[in-house]
Amino acid sequence: MTAVDAVEIRKAPEPELDPEGAILHVEACGICGTDARTFFNGDPKAPAPWILGHEPVGILEQVGPNAVLPPGVKKGDRVFLGSILTCGRCHWCMDGFQNLCDQHLLYGYEPFPGAYAEYATVPPIAMKNLIPLPPDLPSDVATIADPFACALNGIEMLDVNIGDSVVILGSGPIGCWQAMMARDRGAKRVFLTDVNQQRLEIALKAVGSFVDEAWVAAEDNGVAQALEATGGKGPERVCVAAPSKKAQQAALQMASKRARIVYFAGLPKHDPVSPLDMNELHYKELAILGAYGATHRQYRITMDYLERRRKELAAVVTHRFPLDQIGEAFATIRSGSGLKVVIVP
């Protein structure tokens, strides 16, 4: 990234091997919603020129002489690299909530350049995030591991129960995977909505078998449609999987009394304040929660899910681009003509 909404392909210096780190030969790197938001809006933690990319899969080409590898990982292995970099010592890390680490960093942001490259460094703090991949799992599908683990965190926070009606606002990759998981957790009915007809149709081609009904949100942002679909009661569970203030407000309006709502998607850092009707919260006794990132436990669960639901998960990867077409990849995301977009260097 050379500036906001601008990208160039350049020859970079060979990455230097940290004695306690490693060098990853990148086989694939997904474009995360966070990367897209940074590319389109900028981020002070990605000062241009900067290499983004924090969903990498590749081969451990080099390992530093003092590096500590996780159990089951060795030089030459194909690995996935979890993006949430944590200290491992603070209260939150010790309690298993590594995503809330007091000192957490994100791979692909200062001070660690990302993996939209042929080779990428694995800093010492990231070594514990290396997870070995099944030999036959395609690298483009394996990039799903990072965002899927984050989607899993949102679903666990949503706490879907058997018999619940679930509305997911946003039919991007996260919304697709959460629809799948909501069904697996016993939801009675799963509804998927979006403001983009094209994106919704693409999503239904991938995960339509998990969805009971889907709609393009009307002028009220889908509130009346959600109420109609649930017999006027409203859904017991609502997940906002889109970075939209209007969707956040609509979630409050459509939710049933005593419903649980999860705001999964973050807003642009330059405009993060959302106007919400707190009377909806008060009089309906709603629970509103946030969900961010993923824990090591959720990464491990994701690897098992990838094995069991490989075909369904692979359907969400709609586009693959070589590194020299990364500009086109971001344009595809902006247009809404694809779901998960992966760079294959």
Fold of 148-290: Rossmann fold (3.40.50)
How far CA 157 is from CA of 41, 60, 316, in Å, comes to 28, 34, 23
Query: Could you tell me the pTM of the whole model?
Result: 0.92
3-state secondary structure of 251: helix
Output the six-digit token pair for 330: 């971001």
Chain centroid to CA 118: 22
Tell me the C-alpha distance between 242 and 29, whole Å. Answer: 22
Residues of the chain with CATH 3.40.50.720: 148-290
Q: CATH second-level architecture of 22-144+316-343?
A: Alpha-Beta Complex (3.90)
Instruction: Give me the pLDDT at residue 153, please.
Output: 98
Instruction: Give me the pLDDT at residue 167, please.
Output: 98
Instruction: Give me the pLDDT at residue 293, please.
Output: 93
Residues of the chain with CATH 3.90.180.10: 22-144+316-343
* pLDDT one digit per residue (tens) for the chain, 345 residues: 899 999 999 998 889 999 999 999 999 999 998 899 899 988 999 999 999 999 999 999 999 999 999 999 999 999 999 999 999 999 999 999 999 999 999 999 999 999 999 999 999 999 999 999 988 899 999 999 999 999 999 999 999 999 999 999 999 999 999 999 999 999 999 999 999 999 999 999 999 999 999 999 999 999 999 999 999 999 999 999 999 999 999 999 999 999 999 999 888 778 899 999 999 999 999 999 999 999 999 999 999 898 888 888 889 999 999 999 999 999 999 988 889 999 998
Interhelix angle for 145-158 vs 296-308, to 10°? Answer: 110
* Measured CA angle at 161 (ends 241, 244), to 5 deg: 15
| C-alpha dihedral sign at 123, 128, 129, 130 | positive
Tell me the C-alpha distance between 127 and 67, whole Å. Answer: 8
Instruction: Give me the pLDDT at residue 34, please.
Output: 87
Instruction: Give me the pLDDT at residue 111, please.
Output: 96
3-state secondary structure of 208: helix
Contact in structure between 229 and 213 (CB atoms under 8 Å)? yes
Instruction: Give me the pLDDT at residue 14, please.
Output: 87
Instruction: Kindly give the residue spans of alpha helices, DSSP state H, lying in 10-126.
Output: 33-41, 91-94
| Length of the chain, in residues | 345
